[in-house]
Structure formats: structure tokens, C-alpha cells
Amino acid sequence: MRKADYLIVVILLIIAALGYGFLMLKNNSSHKILIIKHDNSVVERIALKNVRTETKLAIPVQDGTIIVRYDKNGAWVESSPCPDKICVHQGKITKTSETVACVPEKILLTIEEPEKEAEHDAILK
């Protein structure tokens, strides 16, 4: 082993450390994506961080139309033709892996975000 070999190791370690540091900083931006699924196929993919004002989305379903609203923080079901309106009562989802579902109309709202640790593991609704 020669001196230069050790130098290479040190340089590589420094590069790796810098790379990690840079990545840690980058992950703090929130890249939330709203996914709306109808009957298990994705019908909408919306990058929430680009949303400036509250937006309304009308989705045609079996018994009528579901109205979903979203802003840059999250989304919720405003109205639905389903009989129990459970989806409306579930409120707003703002964090990754949170979901709102309308079972009779087979609609699922969920938020995806790369690698960010959600604050809660689950919400009792």
C-alpha cells in the first residue's frame, strides 16, 4: 500500500459524506403528490406544491359526481353522491400515506411523497 492509496480512501469518504449531506438538505422540501384512484386505477396525479389556490375537481362516479377540493397542503372530499358521506366526514389529508376513501363509489384519495417520515403512523377517524 502506498501513501496515495490512503489519500484516495480519504477523498472518497469525503465525497460520500458531502453527497449525504447534500441529500439530507434536499429532502426537506415537500414534494407532495395527490393521487386519486377510481376503482384501483389512477385518474389524477397532482403535484400539490405547484397549487396556488384552492382548486375544485369533479369526478364522475357511478351515482353522480364526487367533488374533491385541494390546496397546496392537502385534499378533501367536499361532496359525494354516496349514501353515508363517510368520505366527507373523514376530513382533509395532508400527510403522506393518509387516505380518504369513498367505498361505494370506489374512490380513493391518497398523498405520496418521497421518503419523508409522516408525523403520524395512523389517524383514528
Partner 1 sequence: MPSSNKIKLRELTQMSILLAGAIALRLLESSLSYLMPLPGAHLGLANCITIIVLYLYGPYKTLLFLVARVLLVGLLFTGILTPGFLIGLGGASLSYCVMAKASSSTLLSPVGVGLLGAFFHNVGQILVAIVLMHTTALFSYLPVLILLGIPTGFFTGLLAKLFLDRLKTYWQNK
Partner 2 sequence: MRRFFVSVILISSLLITGCFFQQKEYSDTRFLMDTLVKITVYGQNQKALETATTEAFNVFKSVADATDSYEEHLPDDLYTLNKKAGEGPFKVNPTLLDLLTKTEAFHHKEINLALGKVIAIWQAHGQTKTVPTKAEIQAALLSTKSGAFTINETDGTVTLAPQASLDLGAVAKGYGVEAAANALKKHPEVESALVNGGGNIKVIGTKKDGKPWRIGIQNPRDNKKLLGTLSLTANMAVATSGDYQRYYEVDGVRYHHIIDPATGFPARHTISATAVTTSAYVADYYSTLLFILPTEEAIKLVESTDDLEAVIEDAQEKIYVSPGLKDKFSLAK
As to burial, measured by CB atoms within 10 angstroms (0-12 exposed, 13-18 middle, 19+ buried), residue 32 is buried
Count the site residues for partner 2 by CB under 8 A. Answer: 27
Position 53, amino acid: T
Of 101-120, binders to partner 1 (CB under 8 A) are 114
Q: Copy the grid coordinates of residue 60.
A: 364522475
Does residue 99 interact with partner 2 by CB under 8 A?
yes
Does residue 63 interact with partner 2 by CB under 8 A?
no
d(CA 5, CA 10): 9
How many CB atoms are closer than 10 A to CB 107? 23
Does residue 96 interact with partner 2 by CB under 8 A?
no
Of 45-104, binders to partner 1 (CB under 8 A) are none
Does residue 124 interact with partner 2 by CB under 8 A?
yes
Of 13-32, binders to partner 1 (CB under 8 A) are 13, 15-17, 19-20, 23, 26
d(CA 42, CA 28): 27
Judged by the rule CB under 8 A, the positions of this chain that interact with partner 2 are 1, 6, 9-10, 13, 76, 83-86, 89-92, 97, 99, 101, 103, 106, 108, 119-125
